[in-house]
Amino acid sequence: MSQATTLTSAQIKHLLRVTDGVSRHPVRECLILPLEITCGMRGLS
């Protein structure tokens, strides 16, 4: 099994901006996403 590609800092910033604009719970999602990215966790979102 091959390893997943990592996100660049620009991609992470874009992901947070999009999440902030479209999510029903933007504060929660913008807190969970960096944790998932840095810790390698998988959220239930």
Q: What is the pLDDT along the chain (45 residues), one digit of tens a residue?
A: 677 778 899 999 999 999 999 999 999 999 988 888 888 776 555
For 30, the domain range is 9-38
Query: Count of domains in the chain?
Result: 1
29 occurs within a structural domain: yes
4 occurs within a structural domain: no
28 occurs within a structural domain: yes
In this prediction, residue 15 carries a pLDDT of 92
Spatial distance between the Cα atoms of 31 and 1, rounded to a whole number of angstroms: 30
In this prediction, residue 25 carries a pLDDT of 93
26 occurs within a structural domain: yes
pTM of the model: 0.69
3 occurs within a structural domain: no
Which H or E run contains 33? helix 26-39
In this prediction, residue 43 carries a pLDDT of 57
Which segments of 1-45 are extended strands (E)?
A: none
